[in-house]
Structures are given as C-alpha cells and as structure tokens.
Amino acid sequence: MSRKYSQAGYMDSDRERKPRVVRRSQEPGRPKSPLNATDKGAGRVETKFHLVTRCNNCAAEFQVEDKIQAADRCKNCGTDLHTCRNCLNFDPAARNECMKPVEARVPSKNQNNFCAYFEAKVLIEKQGSGAPSPAAKAATNPHHQAFHDLFKS
C-alpha cells in the first residue's frame, strides 16, 4: 500500500523503526557541554547594555542632565527635543497618540510643546558588539577592498 505522505510521523505504527543514532556528546560519561573542564568560559561573551537618549530625527545621542527644557535643540541636526516623538508616553495607537490622559491632541508631533506629561525617552542599547568595522573587513578581504576603492570619493 502506498502512502500519501512519506515524512516521519505519518502512519508510523506500521513502519519499521530506524535505530537512533547516538551522538558523541550524548554518550554516557561525557559532559553535555562542548567545553572541556580545562577551558571553562573560553567561548563566553558578556553582553553589556547602557541607557541612552537619542534625537528622534537624526538618532544622535545626547545627555539628559535633569530634564529636557522646551527650548532645547539637538546639537547635531538642530531639531526640537521637547517633542511628542521624543517622549516616553508617545504611542501612535493610543488616543491622542499619548498614553497619558491628554485633553487636546497635539497636531505636530515633531515641534516643541509644553506638555506637562513629557518624559524623555530613554533606550536600553547594547554596548559595542565587538563586530569588526567595515574598514577592518575590507582590509582582510581583497574583494571588499576593491569594492570600497571603486566607490571612494
């Protein structure tokens, strides 16, 4: 009798069972971890995080001393910082696009406002991932170097 499906698990009751292959790490007496007792922690990479506040327009990192004042501007691009889009309570899906009970909707989310609920949005980001920079990659691979040389200005 031919079967409609041949993948494992479909009508397995009348099929022959294949012997299970035992991997080296599953043999009795061997540790399950790939690391030996001599090189514990050799492959471990510690991930570090830090708190950062960024401009909504150019993503430039800026320091928040106490509070963002209504007249503060980004040093990189010059846009306003005391805006709805830089606020922790900004939510496009919420009523009036704010998670706080605001009576009147702010029409322009990218311009300064005097909202009493404003809190600077603080993000948690990974610190240096340790990945090589594009320039370092290009130095190790001649094809990457040729590509970058082609489009140098």
Mean pLDDT for back-to-back runs of 10 residues, the chain (153 residues): 67 62 59 52 73 85 76 85 88 90 86 87 77 55 82 70
Question: Cα 75 to the chain's mean position, in Å?
Answer: 25
Let me know: does 111 contact 80? Beta carbons within 8 Å. yes
**Tokens standing for residue 73:** 């501007």
Please tell me the distance from the alpha carbon of residue 21 to that of residue 33, in angstroms, as a whole number.
19
Q: Is this model's pTM higher than 0.85 or not? A: no
Please tell me the distance from the alpha carbon of residue 126 to that of residue 94, in angstroms, as a whole number.
29
- H or E segment and range at residue 144: helix 142-150
Ranges of each domain in the chain: 48-148
Burial 95-111 (b: 16+ CB within 10 A, else e): eebbebebeeebeebee
pLDDT digits (tens, 9 = 90+) for 85-100: 888 899 989 888 899 9
Let me know: does 52 contact 125? Beta carbons within 8 Å. yes
